[in-house]
Structure 1
């Protein structure tokens, strides 16, 4: 019981730190394709191709109970994908069935969630024949390290305090499962 209380306390402290502006991400552009480097166009083309692969396999995804609960928190949201250490931003909506829709090569001002990943992670997922297991693993193992990220880190988009707190707690406790 005491360890559960400690875990919840740590999770809440992490959430408060994130809401208070803990780690920052490099400033992002307005998300227009013209402002992004040429490699971003190639990556977006690969992501468009990956979208159908992802959508085809998401119904067959094997996830633990904890992974499924995290995944269910992503569904139904519009998400901005920030490629860390660059000005590249994409956006998409994850439908209630888990499929990716409305993939755009720009930032969506109405997004609820922020997904952070490196260019290498994005390229690996975008060129995978079945990107679902890689996505699940990257979210499960995602963490901030030395000013960048490993895997995929999800948080609430700026100004979305409830989402920031929720994802602060999820990110703090997901390592315990």
Structure 2
């Protein structure tokens, strides 16, 4: 019996070590555990230059206007210029926008384009008076563009007077919106 006790005493620590080893590898021997190599990835940043609308690029390339591409895009898109009551005088705030239009029309991109400048008034005044005032407003825009180098043969002027209001309301806010000249590029 003594021999059996010695075998048990020696076997118990061996079994305990074996179980402890199995617990650390999830029940698998270390030779069965797959290892994956560590993968290192690098983030590649590619800088791209945004592609600009050809009209915007043409204005920027002209060097005639100092503005960001976003400003040029906005000024090219807004082709309406407002006037004071009974006035055909351009506002100071319109000059930069008209400079952008002129730079575009003088660029290779815009050189083949013709434009129509439509003059509009509010509803106050006679039809005859408003047609003449709308024409003066359109001619004010034309004169500015011609002074900036746009050929007058490419510019047509038309007056609608009060016939095509932007805002049909009968108040000061609507009247201010309707006193305008608008460029249409063909």
Return the TM-score normalized by structure 1. Answer: 0.22
More strand as a share of residues: 1
* Larger RCO of the pair (alpha carbons < 8 Å, separation 6+): 1
